[in-house]
Structure 1
Amino acid sequence: MDKLVDLTDDPAVDDGHRRGRILWALATCMAAKGYQATTISDIAREGRVSKTIVYAHFQDKEECLLELYSRANDKVLETVHRAQETARAAGLPWRARLRAGIGAYLETLAAGPTVAWAALVEVQAAGPRARALRREVLDRYVDLICEVATGLAAEHPDEVRPVGRQLVLAAVGGINELILVRVERGETERLRDDVDAATSAVVGLLERRP
């Protein structure tokens, strides 16, 4: 099971191991046949549980997808936060700190191609609630970069310029498109190769020029 949907050690989740298996089963089914064609029967079969168990955890397939997407992105953001804090505590130069966070983001997705497919491709076919959640998640990524950028501009005013949220949104959108191309081509594991390009996009946005 992908660590992005492994709920075994989450004390807040009742029957976390089985719930995580259901989320993983949905991701696996969507990777094979798409969201629209996936049924509750497919999820139950892949997760090695009964349909009754699936319905005990989720009202329907859409609710299952929304939790899959939300939990996966929560874990990615937690990983990025930890990488940023570790890099800051280590006293790394600001460009290296940015690379640490972006590298953690891409590395986490690269390690879970099935969930990455579900979160980046299939969520777009799941209706207005999923699209609204996707926008909310994107806003959280933008907020994170804005927070980091503001801190770096305060720490290194001669090297880092303050930037507005719209510019950060444009940069995040470009990185997500870079990721999406890899995922759609079945090259999710190669996201590790794109860390430098993604970092350069953000560094170019922030660094002061003569």
Structure 2
Amino acid sequence: MTTTQAEAPADFRQRLLDGLAVSIGARGYQDTTVADIVRGAKTSRRTFYEHFASKETCFVALITEANDEMIRTISAAVDSTAPWPTQVRQAVETWLACADAQRAVTRSWIRDIPSLGLVGWDLQRDLMERFVRMVRVLTERAVGIDPADRELTIVLLGGLRELIASTVEDGRQVTDITEPAVRAAIALLGPTA
């Protein structure tokens, strides 16, 4: 098998995920069809079903991969040698920039996942746990800060997620909420003494 042949399935899969992301931006997740996805991916329904069982499984893959990429990007952006408030700002600014770069997918992640029922519930819990682990790792690396408390981290992440969604829905830039997001993160996760 040649390198081109070996890479083709991954390429098609990524094209399908990209096709879904474009369609979410144009129509929203609920109004997107498999036909919209394959049209955007410039491939066939057969190829779609070789990679995904349904529009829902494609959506779960898109959101999971976007979430994982966001966590990698945030983690890489934080300088563990910087003062704690600077680290918080780096993490928050990077999160908001990632969310702003994929506004429609971010909004869909927050608003449409609950429509998936049990699959959505499991996905939300998994995505939240991945973010909680990231925050815990970042706070463990920070000098003079106790590792993040799980419950306070969930309060912070849930509140910021909702603030991001309402900001997108209001047609504003996600980066507009940087200052309140940084203040909230420092207040909830910072030194207690």
Q: TM-score range by the shorter chain?
A: 0.7 to 0.9
* Kept in 2: contact 1:124–1:131 (CA 8 A): yes
* Residue number among 129, 143, 149 corresponding to 2:133 in the alignment: 143
Letter in 2 for 1:205: L
RMSD: 2.2
Partner residue, 1:168: 153
Tell me the secondary structure at the aligned position of residue 92 of structure 1: coil
What stretches of structure 2 of length at least 5 have no aligned partner? 1-5
Assess, with a 3 A threshold, how the Cα gap between structure 1 residues 162 and 42 changes in structure 2: closer, same or farther: closer
Q: Which structure 2 residues correspond to residues 1-210 of structure 1 after superposition, within 5 A?
A: 14-84=8-78, 87-88=79-80, 91-152=81-142, 155-156=143-144, 160=145, 164-187=149-172, 190-208=173-191
What stretches of structure 1 of length at least 5 have no aligned partner? 1-11
Letter in 1 for 2:153: V
Q: TM-score, normalised by structure 1?
A: 0.79
* Kept in 2: contact 1:106–1:195 (CA 8 A): yes
Assess, with a 3 A threshold, how the Cα gap between structure 1 residues 13 and 146 changes in structure 2: closer, same or farther: farther
State the identity %.
29
Letter in 2 for 1:179: I
**CA-CA distance at 1:16 after TM superposition:** 2.7
Distance 1:176 1:34 in 2: 18
Q: TM-score, normalised by structure 2?
A: 0.85
